[in-house]
Amino acid sequence: MRLYAALCTALYCACVGLQGAGVNVVGPAGPSLASKLRTDVSSVGSILSAEGAGAAAGALLIPLLLGRLPGHIVLCVLSASIGVSLFGVWLCGSIREVTILYFAVGGLLGSFSGCANTLLAWLHAGRNLGPWVNLVNACFGLGSGGVPLLFVAAERRLGDGLRVFPALGLAAAGVALSAACLPSPPRPKDAKGGGGGGGGGRGRTWVVVGPLMVVLALGVGSEIAFGAWCYEYATARVGMPPTEAAYLTAVYWSSFTCGRLGAVPLAAALPPEGLLLPSLVLEVASALLVLCDPSSERVLWAATVGAGVGVCALYSNVMSLLAGHGLMSAPIVSAMQFACSLGHMTLPNLVALVMRHTSLGHESLFVVLAAANAACLVLVAAVSLHLRRRYKSAPPAALFDAGAKQV
């Protein structure tokens, strides 16, 4: 049983890592894509918006897919489809074709990561899920941080960095094969139900859940926007060589990953608010630091590490915060994925719009990030105060115990 749980958890790690690579390959590959397709680099924002829109649509399919098919069969089919789609990106001849195909990639990835997280909750039902969520979702940073290095390697060894797309397609095929070889975890008896969650009624529940969905949209949107635009900022505004800018992107996702791995033991000892609030303060401070000296390479490196660590705790600990107060349910899990996709769809493109239509130039990235994360900080603080007044929180060691069967 322990071996089976370990293998399944490793599979879900691979799923989330593939999601990170598939989403964030657009950042380092964006200038090369724009050059190949003879378009402006700011049009890369439309690719990210299409991917986010697709992910939002895919998130809505999670309850339907897992309600009708075995979980690992769903992962196998989705992973194989992702592989074919990523291979197709390499063959595209126009920005319109890439945008349409990345809408499909986004839909597949949106269902893919949501299903993996839901199956993780089923696998570890009745236990403290917080550390497991942090561990599995740390692999998003591994995939995101590894893909710029893979892009640089393809550029140097093969003369075409865009060959990273078929390479990711092969990786997706491997994940599909692994999912096909493992039996699915058992579905909890009430997993098909909406699951009420505690908290004194639907109205009061959404007073808490609504602001946290906004936090997820803004926070995940900021995460993706930084990963997508820091390469362009480093080369065009700071004057870094392309290879060094790719390393900067890798450092961002490495900081994200290390921060999330560090949050695994902390999640068992601290309440979610104890991780969320300091992380958001660090995120805001990192953006403001760059705005104080926009052309400094040292400041950019320091802010990149701070931004990666700052954003790492968001998704996992919002889940823990909801579950610790008995507010997790299947519709809320789907809403979380939808909110993440909405932010993913809007914030990277918002950076491009502000960059194109204002005098801020490349500093638009950090203006948007500072504003978005400041809003997140205010909302998390307000929700935390509300929960302390209205609900009796479960102790950290019992997080997800009350809500695990409702996921």
Single-letter residue type at 134: N
pLDDT score of 403: 37
| Residue 117 binned pLDDT confidence (cut-offs 50, 70, 90) | confident
pLDDT score of 398: 40
pLDDT score of 216: 94
pLDDT digits (tens, 9 = 90+) for 123-141: 876 566 667 887 888 888 7
pLDDT digits (tens, 9 = 90+) for 324-366: 676 766 677 778 888 988 887 789 889 988 988 888 888 999 9
More confident of the two residues 211 and 387: 211
| Average pLDDT over every residue of 162-178 | 93
What are the CA-CA distances from residue 299 to residues 57, 211, 258, 288, 302 (Å)?
Answer: 38, 32, 20, 11, 5
The number of beta carbons lying within 10 Å of the beta carbon of residue 180 is 14
pLDDT digits (tens, 9 = 90+) for 220-251: 999 889 988 898 899 999 999 988 988 898 89
Is the predicted pLDDT of residue 9 greater than 90, yes or no?
Answer: yes
What letters, b where the CB count within 10 A reaches 16 and e where it falls short, cover 369-383? bbebbbbbbebbeeb
pLDDT score of 305: 95
The C-alpha angle 109, 407, 206, rounded to 5 degrees, equals 95
pLDDT score of 127: 63
More confident of the two residues 13 and 42: 13
The C-alpha angle 371, 230, 346, rounded to 5 degrees, equals 50
Q: How far apart are alpha carbons 328 and 332 in whole angstroms?
A: 6
| Average pLDDT over every residue of 158-162 | 85
What are the CA-CA distances from residue 63 to residues 26, 30, 125, 333 (Å)?
Answer: 29, 33, 17, 9
Token pair for 278: 């300091």
| Residue 286 binned pLDDT confidence (cut-offs 50, 70, 90) | very high
Is the predicted pLDDT of residue 397 greater than 60, yes or no?
Answer: no
Tally of domains in the chain: 1
pLDDT score of 213: 94
Q: If phi over 0 gives left and psi between -120 and 50 gives alpha, with beta otherwise, what is residue 237?
A: alpha
pLDDT score of 329: 63
| Average pLDDT over every residue of 376-380 | 95
Mean pLDDT, the chain, integer: 83
Is the predicted pLDDT of residue 407 greater than 50, yes or no?
Answer: no
The dihedral formed by the CA atoms of 349, 216, 311 and 361, expressed in degrees to the nearest 10: 20
pLDDT score of 168: 93
pLDDT score of 59: 84
The C-alpha angle 383, 386, 391, rounded to 5 degrees, equals 115
| H, E, C per residue of the chain | CHHHHHHHHHHHHHHHHHHHHHHHCHHHHHHHHHHHHCCCHHHHHHHHHHHHHHHHHHHCCHHHHHHHCCHHHHHHHHHHHHHHHHHHHHHCCCHHHHHHHHHHHHHHHHHHHHHHHHHHHHHCCCCCCHHHHHHHHHHHHHHHHHHHHHHHHHHHHHCCHHHHHHHHHHHHHHHHHHHHHCCCCCCCCCCCCCCCCCCCCHHHHHHHHHHHHHHHHHHHHHHHHHHHHHHHHHHHHHCCCHHHHHHHHHHHHHHHHHHHHHHHHHHCCCCHHHHHHHHHHHHHHHHHHHHHCCCCHHHHHHHHHHHHHHHCCHHHHHHHHHHHCCCCCHHHHHHHHHHHHHHHHHHHHHHHHHHHHCCCHHHHHHHHHHHHHHHHHHHHHHHHHHHHHHCCCCCHHHCCCCCHHHC
pLDDT digits (tens, 9 = 90+) for 64-109: 888 888 999 999 999 999 999 999 988 888 888 888 998 999 899 9
- Can you give the residue range of the structural domain that contains 19? 2-406
pLDDT score of 396: 42
CATH code (residue 384): 1.20.1250.20
